[in-house]
Structure 1
Amino acid sequence: MARKKRPEGTRRPNGASSIYYSEKDGKWHGWVTVGVRDDGKPDRRHVKRKREAEVIDAVRGLEQQRDSGKVRKPGRAWTVEKWLRHWVENIAAPSVRETTMVGYRSSVYKHLIPGIGAHRLDKLQPEHLETLYARLQKPREQGGKALKAATVHLAHRTANVAFNEAVRRRRMVENPARVAKAPRVEQEDIIPFTREEARGLIDKAAEIRNGARYVVALSVGLRRGEALGLKWSDYAVKWRHGCPKGSTCRSRDASKCDLREGRGTLTIRRAIQQRTWQHGCDPDGSCGHRLGAYCPHRRDGGVVESEVKSRAGRRVIGLPHPVIESLETHRSHQEIDRERAANLWADEGWIFTNRLGRPVHPTEDHRAWKALLRLADVRDARLHDARHTAATFLLELKVPLPAVMELMGWSNAAIAKRYMHTNEEFVTAIAAEIGGHLWAEEDDTDDDDGPATVRLAI
């Protein structure tokens, strides 16, 4: 159906879209005003198609984008590669933790750019991402291994973050990663330690160097970086006499009392991180080594002090008396290490150190944990499972969720579902309470006419 002609002597209103046929190229053209450019001139977008109906659809699409505020920025569209490089180095790098950047850079440079980098950013479709994910999980040519679903899922999350920022900055209209189906990652079953296992580990921790570090992990659930980042200035303790009133011990300092009771706190202010070494040669890799760790001029790597994971991570936690005693014993052992190291000791105030007073390397911390598991004859488990164990103990003690979040350093209550587990002991105890409540015997002393009372076996 032909469009109705405009009455002679009238004109289109300012900013109205226009469609016309050009005999020069034999195509239909459409112009849509979507806003104002930085120089103050109208921002008019042009589309052309072979058929009039196609141009009408394209013009309507631009008008819908304009009305919803989702119009792409003017200028030549970026490629996916150009945007990802700009995002990861100029937007993400200054604002996220170094450990997060390791995953971002790996996903961007190893998987996303080689797979979809040539596409125009505004033309990228969910199907392009899904094809890439499928290809990454297949065995590669020349004997290359297929990537694990977790690695591909990390690439998907990275793409989602990067393209969300592109949408926010109007480099693209919609984020295709929000529609694309990511690979399914099987959730690993985490089994917290039982009280018997935890006690066995704590008992054996007294026999190894820096054993108090694992007592802290099992009792108050600090993250690895938080525990290794503790300094003695973060530790505060007040002693009280535990001996009877009127005893001669009361005349001495409470810390000298054989039955002393301690009340202490730890203030979480910082964390220790292991950063990947970067090449210091120019250009990168000209030294002949693939990894920056082997570069003679390596830089920006090793064990470094950093901020805690989130604002909620900066917190003060109370310490049980046995943990305080463990830390005091550890302090006395550290004094022996200090004397042995003499002038080689780095007096930086760390609670857990290597034999020269410097922070413990996370790799060495991991090895010591595995050795402790073998020494205590406890099943193999991750060090992070100690944090799950501490959170589960808080659940068993019926500590209110807001207090749990404060102690564990969580900013989102949903995280509790991942860390607080109902183990077999807890399930059995709940069943016993239900049985005692539902099948409790009636009290014989009740009056016949009065309401029966139930004696709870809890």
Structure 2
Amino acid sequence: MARRRAPAISQGADGQWHAWVVVGTKANGRPDQRHVKRATRDEVEERVDELLDQRKAGTVVKPGRAATLQQWLETYLDTVAARRCDPTTITGYRSKMRNYVYPIAGTVRLDRLTPEHLDRIYLEMQRAGRADATIVQTHRILSRALEVAYRRGMTPRNVSKLLEDNPTAKKREMVAFTEAEALRVLTAAERRRNSARWSVGLALGLRQGEALGLRWSYVDLDAGEMQVFWQLHRRPFEHGCGKPPTCRRKRAGNCPDKVLRLRSGEHQLDGGLILKAPKGSGKATVPIPAELVAELRRHKEVQDLERVMAEGAYAKHDLVFADLDGSPIDPARDWAEWKDLLKAAGVRAIRVHDGRHTAATLLIAQGVQLEVVQEILRHSSITVTRGYVHIASEMAKKATDRMGASLLRRPSTP
């Protein structure tokens, strides 16, 4: 088949084959001409055809040596993803790239990256026993980074779109307590300090960070409502001594010049604990049941006494649930308290976040409309709320069966 019209190809005095291809126009109005040099004529023809294809499709890569995948991903995480993602999220992204991507394809140039490189990354993760959800998230990070690189003319294509089968993960099954189990947990918590923290979690479905970040100035016990405007969050420190770190400390928290990155509207409390806006649909006002109002009043009386006993040493963070000195409760310690509480209650071991699922299923099982449940739990979409219906339906069926067995039972006839 005859080749398309293309630049002349000639062999130079150095023994290499050369061609000059005009692929467009530079910003100064001059022709954007690329020099192609290869050991054989066939290799030059192949590269010239590639450039002509790119010119026709409008996907010509910027001049200069293409960055490696690792170089681009580090730049992407530092300058692109950092604008829209939480610093803690970026830390997680870096970990996945460092552990799973760089060892296999980190040194590959962007313009030479192939779908087979991604296949190998995901296969090695699978063989190493990584969860499907971890593989999917790694793919999403790579796909987004490669799409940005493609749009900026750094690579002729986004190879993640060429995969026949993208990584997938099964939808995680919702886990929730039954009403009886929830009552056992709250009964076991009655004699513990900050027992109301678990009532708030199970009755209102607050996330862990939202419960620990709740402040008295946002709780109106007289009106029976609370404003979920904050969540407590632990953010890792970053090295402030340079990149790569010059302090020779592996953990950024041990760096003499450690830095805690705060975004607009965030507040640092103690160490790496910060207050930030809640997840999802954001700030919302949530009604408080009368029984929970009474429990929070009792909780406040105890906390006021602790404040008096601590005198000037009591932290002025205004937290509803705090340590004896008013300092915030670390989420890791809150998690340990939850596990200990479940053991004492003699119920199944589930995550702290599953308390939120419990609130959703109990509300639906009691006949509360989905739109109302969505508003209380602040789900971003009614589709998320519908995900709890099948569990709630099973709970409601068991409840009606018990009611029937109790009320409708008839004595057997002789």
What count of residue pairs does the alignment treat as equivalent? 386
**Is residue 2:149 matched to residue 1:166?**
yes
Distance 2:182 2:160 in 1: 43
**Partner of residue 351 from structure 1, selected from 309, 313, 320:** 320
Shift of 1:362: 0.6
Distance 1:283 1:77 in 2: 22
SS in 1 for 2:83: coil
**Identity within the alignment, %:** 33
Provide the alpha-carbon RMSD of the alignment. 3.3
Shift of 1:194: 0.6
Distance 2:3 2:126 in 1: 52
Distance 1:190 1:159 in 2: 28
**Partner of residue 54 from structure 2, selected from 55, 58, 62:** 62
Which AA in structure 2 matches 1:425? M
SS in 1 for 2:325: coil
Unaligned runs of 5+ in 2: 261-270, 403-414
**Is residue 2:190 matched to residue 1:190?**
no
CA deviation digits over 1:67-117, x for unaligned, max 9?
xxx443344322212211111112222331122112112123333233212
- Checking the alignment, whether the CA contact within 8 Å between 2:237 and 2:253 is kept in structure 1 is yes
**Is residue 2:65 matched to residue 1:50?**
no
Which AA in structure 2 matches 1:20? A
Aligned to 1:9: none
Distance 1:127 1:37 in 2: 34
- Which range moved further: 362-371 or 277-286? 277-286
- Checking the alignment, whether the CA contact within 8 Å between 1:33 and 1:43 is kept in structure 2 is yes
Which AA in structure 2 matches 1:168? R
Distance 1:288 1:122 in 2: 34
Please report the TM-score for the alignment, with normalisation by the length of structure 1.
0.74
CA deviation digits over 1:281-335, x for unaligned, max 9?
567666564323445654426211222224x121111111112112111111111
**Is residue 2:220 matched to residue 1:269?**
no
Sort the Cα spacing of 1:121 and 1:328 in 2 relative to 1 into closer, same or farther, 3 A.
same
- Checking the alignment, whether the CA contact within 8 Å between 1:313 and 1:410 is kept in structure 2 is no
Shift of 1:233: 1.1
Unaligned runs of 5+ in 1: 5-16, 140-145, 239-262, 433-458
- Which range moved further: 25-34 or 213-222? 25-34
**Partner of residue 102 from structure 2, selected from 104, 107, 113:** 113
Aligned to 2:405: none
- Checking the alignment, whether the CA contact within 8 Å between 1:30 and 1:55 is kept in structure 2 is no
Distance 2:337 2:78 in 1: 36
CA deviation digits over 1:187-217, x for unaligned, max 9?
5533211111112222333221111111111
- 1:37-436 equivalences under 5 Å are 37-44=26-33, 50=42, 54=46, 57-58=49-50, 61-66=53-58, 70-138=59-127, 147-180=130-163, 181=165, 185=169, 187-238=171-222, 263-279=223-239, 289-295=249-255, 298-300=258-260, 302-310=272-280, 312-416=281-385, 418=387, 421-423=390-392, 424-428=394-398
Which AA in structure 2 matches 1:115? I
- Checking the alignment, whether the CA contact within 8 Å between 1:32 and 1:62 is kept in structure 2 is no
Shift of 1:133: 2.4
Q: Which structure's relative contact order is higher, taking Cα pairs within 8 Å and 6+ residues apart?
A: 2
SS in 1 for 2:391: coil
- Which range moved further: 158-167 or 316-325? 158-167
- Checking the alignment, whether the CA contact within 8 Å between 1:350 and 1:359 is kept in structure 2 is yes
**Is residue 2:5 matched to residue 1:22?**
no
- Which range moved further: 57-66 or 376-385? 57-66
- Checking the alignment, whether the CA contact within 8 Å between 1:392 and 1:420 is kept in structure 2 is yes
SS in 2 for 1:163: helix
Q: Rg: which structure is higher?
A: 1
Which AA in structure 2 matches 1:62? Q
Distance 2:123 2:225 in 1: 50
SS in 1 for 2:379: coil
- Checking the alignment, whether the CA contact within 8 Å between 2:19 and 2:35 is kept in structure 1 is yes
- Checking the alignment, whether the CA contact within 8 Å between 1:267 and 1:317 is kept in structure 2 is yes
Aligned to 1:31: 21
- Which range moved further: 273-282 or 339-348? 273-282
- Which range moved further: 178-187 or 215-224? 178-187
SS in 2 for 1:317: strand
- Checking the alignment, whether the CA contact within 8 Å between 1:136 and 1:147 is kept in structure 2 is yes
Please report the TM-score for the alignment, with normalisation by the length of structure 2.
0.81
- Checking the alignment, whether the CA contact within 8 Å between 2:239 and 2:258 is kept in structure 1 is yes
CA deviation digits over 1:340-374, x for unaligned, max 9?
21111012211111111122111111112112212
SS in 1 for 2:145: helix
Distance 1:127 1:398 in 2: 51
- Checking the alignment, whether the CA contact within 8 Å between 1:47 and 1:59 is kept in structure 2 is no
CA deviation digits over 1:388-444, x for unaligned, max 9?
111223333444444433322232344335555425323456999xxxxxxxxxxxx
Sort the Cα spacing of 1:318 and 1:280 in 2 relative to 1 into closer, same or farther, 3 A.
same
Which AA in structure 2 matches 1:269? F
Distance 2:215 2:374 in 1: 23
Sort the Cα spacing of 1:151 and 1:52 in 2 relative to 1 into closer, same or farther, 3 A.
closer
Distance 2:318 2:376 in 1: 24
Distance 1:83 1:339 in 2: 55
Distance 1:3 1:193 in 2: 70
SS in 2 for 1:43: strand
Sort the Cα spacing of 1:228 and 1:420 in 2 relative to 1 into closer, same or farther, 3 A.
farther
